[in-house]
């Protein structure tokens, strides 16, 4: 067994313990009440960085939640890896659907259950443990910089400007992120594309106050009915989005890419079972993989208004609301798409209601060449860790900060995801495979070695 493998085996239990320490902190970034937990979590990340042999680790305050920034000793003639992750998590609700409490990590069937297990605490921590391993063996072959933020789940409002202000500090040769998934159990992947996002909120107002639906109904606008009519008109029967200009900048899929993806043998029926719906559906003319990886979407995330309590209340509401998100693909622009959707919603609205559309947050899609040299290094590292050849994939989720990093710092990115699709991120019973957690630490250590060995970094 190699020295690395031996060290990992000897420290496996300790590494799991450290992951649990992070998972016990309810670092939910979207709620004010968890502010102290955010700081506590940032402090725990700093503690673990120190333990990994990275003494220069500190908490950088921001107008929002703090950023943890750390550096190993920066030696000349070595490539520098900038590792990004996020210590914030999604809210835990609905609480009663968790089999064990979300912030009391519990191990069952080789999986660790807790909010943040897969997204992203159990993923970013693998790089700290890889650094710890290589440092302990005296074999760290690269310079490391860590940037672990606490606001990814709310669109990274503080990190985005922070990167631009600290471009010199963050200077690196490769960006490394683990916040995505593998193609399947035992099947690592090389990720070369992520979708972007445009998130909107719509308010529709009819009368000044709620009204009796018998006295007024039929002669006054009902904002919920109006909102539903508008939303329904945003897509046609082929699930094609009808907003004018929406697809103008969508980069068409190449025949080559479609062919590569066909070879992945994606099983729609298995996917349907995972989802639990009676059937799959989506834009006509595209496969499930294409719909998720290379086509934009428009989805209602929530809709509310009027009476939703027990029993019945005969009322015409004054207002109705919806949250709408669009997943974007290269070369769509989030602000441009938000504007187009806003204009179409307003155009569709009846003159009997007032419509307000606001832009929450957004982010650019990201795409690189699947043949980039750093992906070759990742290819070897993943192959060594999982004993399987990685497949080239894109994914449907978004990490908008990837584009900011790559554009501002002009660095290539390696996205080494160790999550699995059924790990319930953003949902009850989130978990992470411990096998992938340990393989991930090994993969990260190998990646550091492989990047150090790339010809372009042999200075």
Active site (catalytic) residues: 88, 152
Tell me whether residue 153 or residue 226 sits nearer to ligand BES (CB atom).
153
CB 318 within 8 A of CB 289: no
Residue 193 engages ligand BES in binding (rule: CB under 6 A): no
| Residue at token pair 């729609």 | 268
Tell me how far apart the 2 most distant CA atoms of the chain are, in Å: 81
Tell me whether residue 86 or residue 319 sits nearer to Zn ion (CB atom).
86
Tell me whether residue 153 or residue 342 sits nearer to ligand BES (CB atom).
153
Residue 367 C-alpha from the chain's centroid: 15
- Reference 264, options 354, 380, 391, 389; nearest CA is 391
Size of the site for Zn ion (CB under 5 A): 3
Could you give the CA distance from residue 414 to residue 209 in angstroms, rounded to a whole number? 53
For residue 292, the SS3 value is: helix
- The pattern of x and - marking residues 101 through 120 that bind ligand BES according to CB under 6 A reads ------------------xx
Q: Could you tell me how many residues make up the chain?
A: 459
Residue 398 engages ligand BES in binding (rule: CB under 6 A): yes
Tell me whether residue 90 or residue 379 sits nearer to Zn ion (CB atom).
90
Residue 119 engages Zn ion in binding (rule: CB under 5 A): yes
Smallest distance, Å, CB 271 to ligand BES?
15
Could you give the CA distance from residue 433 to residue 113 in angstroms, rounded to a whole number? 9
Residue 430 engages ligand BES in binding (rule: CB under 6 A): no
- The pattern of x and - marking residues 117 through 136 that bind ligand BES according to CB under 6 A reads --xx----------------
Of residues 212-241, those binding ligand BES (CB under 6 A)? none
The only residue of 92, 395, 430, 450 in contact with ligand BES, by rule CB under 6 A: 395
- The pattern of x and - marking residues 149 through 188 that bind Zn ion according to CB under 5 A reads ------------------------------x---------
Residue 400 engages ligand BES in binding (rule: CB under 6 A): yes
Please state whether beta strands 106-108 and 174-177 pair in parallel, antiparallel, or not at all (unpaired). Answer: unpaired
Residue 257 engages ligand BES in binding (rule: CB under 6 A): no
For residue 238, the SS3 value is: coil
Smallest distance, Å, CB 199 to ligand BES?
7
| Beta-bridge mates of residue 198 | 326, 362
Smallest distance, Å, CB 457 to Zn ion?
28
Smallest distance, Å, CB 296 to ligand BES?
14
- Reference 20, options 441, 434, 445, 444; nearest CA is 434
Contacting range for ligand BES; rule: CB under 6 A; set: 58-66, 232-240, 349-357, 398-406: 398-406
- Interaction partner, residue 282 (ligand BES, Zn ion, none; CB < 5-8 Å by kind): none
Could you give the CA distance from residue 364 to residue 352 in angstroms, rounded to a whole number? 36
CA angle at residue 44 from 94 to 427, to 5 degrees? 15
Alpha-carbon Rg for the chain in angstroms:
24
Residue 423 engages Zn ion in binding (rule: CB under 5 A): no
Contacting range for ligand BES; rule: CB under 6 A; set: 201-209, 268-276, 280-288, 391-399: 391-399
The only residue of 18, 37, 88, 120 in contact with Zn ion, by rule CB under 5 A: 120
CB 355 within 8 A of CB 322: no
Q: Which residues contact 61 (CB under 8 A, 6 or more apart)?
A: none
The only residue of 399, 414, 447, 452 in contact with ligand BES, by rule CB under 6 A: 399
Could you give the CA distance from residue 272 to residue 285 in angstroms, rounded to a whole number? 18
CB 122 within 8 A of CB 19: yes
Tell me whether residue 379 or residue 398 sits nearer to ligand BES (CB atom).
398
Could you give the CA distance from residue 344 to residue 347 in angstroms, rounded to a whole number? 5
Smallest distance, Å, CB 392 to Zn ion?
21
Sheet with 111-113, side-by-side order of all strands: 106-108, 111-113, 431-433
CB 68 within 8 A of CB 86: no
Residue 151 engages ligand BES in binding (rule: CB under 6 A): no
φ, ψ of residue 421 in degrees (nearest 5) = -60, -30
- The pattern of x and - marking residues 334 through 373 that bind ligand BES according to CB under 6 A reads -----------------------------x----------
Tell me whether residue 183 or residue 457 sits nearer to ligand BES (CB atom).
183
The helix-helix angle for 434-453 and 121-136 (nearest 10°) equals 50
Site residues (CB under 5 A) for Zn ion? 119-120, 179
Site residues (CB under 6 A) for ligand BES? 119-120, 152-153, 155, 179-181, 197, 363, 395, 397-400
């Amino acid at each position: 067994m190699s020295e690395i493998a031996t060290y990992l085996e000897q420290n496996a239990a300790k590494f799991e313990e450290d992951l649990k320490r992070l998972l016990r902190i309810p670092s939910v970034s979207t709620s004010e009440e968890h502010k102290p937990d955010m700081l506590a979590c940032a402090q725990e990340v700093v503690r673990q960085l120190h333990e990994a042999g990275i003494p220069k680790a500190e908490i950088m305050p921001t107008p929002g939640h703090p950023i943890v920034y750390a550096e190993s000793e920066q030696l000349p003639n070595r490539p520098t890896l900038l590792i990004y992750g996020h210590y914030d998590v999604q809210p835990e609700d609905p609480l009663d659907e968790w089999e064990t409490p979300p912030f009391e990590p519990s191990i069952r069937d080789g999986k660790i259950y807790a909010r943040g297990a897969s997204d992203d605490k159990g993923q970013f921590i693998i790089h700290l443990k890889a650094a710890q391993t290589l440092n302990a063996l005296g074999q760290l072959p690269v310079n490391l910089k860590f940037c672990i933020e606490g606001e990814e789940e709310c669109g990274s409002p503080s990190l985005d400007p922070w990167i631009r202000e600290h471009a010199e500090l963050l200077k690196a040769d490769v960006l490394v992120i683990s916040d995505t998934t593998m193609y399947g159990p035992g099947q690592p992947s090389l990720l070369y594309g992520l979708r972007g996002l445009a998130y909107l909120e719509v308010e529709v107002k009819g009368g000044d106050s709620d009204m009796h639906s018998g006295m007024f109904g039929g002669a006054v606008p009902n904002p919920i009915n109006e909102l539903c009519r508008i939303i329904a008109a945003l897509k046609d029967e082929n699930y094609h989005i009808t907003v004018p200009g929406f697809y103008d900048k969508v980069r068409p899929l190449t025949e080559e890419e479609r062919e590569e993806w066909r070879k992945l043998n994606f099983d729609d029926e298995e996917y349907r079972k995972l989802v639990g719906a009676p059937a799959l559906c989506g834009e006509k003319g595209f496969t499930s993989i294409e719909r998720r990886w290379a086509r934009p979407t428009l989805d209602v995330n929530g809709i509310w208004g009027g009476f939703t309590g027990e029993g019945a209340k005969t009322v015409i509401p004054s207002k109705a609301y919806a949250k709408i998100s669009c997943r974007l693909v290269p070369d769509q622009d989030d602000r441009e798409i938000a504007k187009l959707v806003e204009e179409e919603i307003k155009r569709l609205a009846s003159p009997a209601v007032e419509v307000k559309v606001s832009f929450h947050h957004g982010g650019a899609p990201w795409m690189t060449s699947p043949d980039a040299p750093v992906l070759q290094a990742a290819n070897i590292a993943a192959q060594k860790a999982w004993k399987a050849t990685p497949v080239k994939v894109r994914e449907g989720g978004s990490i908008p900060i990837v584009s900011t990093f790559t554009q501002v710092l002009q660095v290539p990115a390696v996205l080494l995801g160790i999550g699995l699709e059924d790990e319930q991120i953003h949902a009850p019973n989130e978990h992470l495979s411990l096998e992938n957690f340990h393989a991930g630490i090994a993969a990260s250590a190998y990646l550091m070695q492989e990047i150090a060995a790339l010809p372009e970094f042999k200075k």
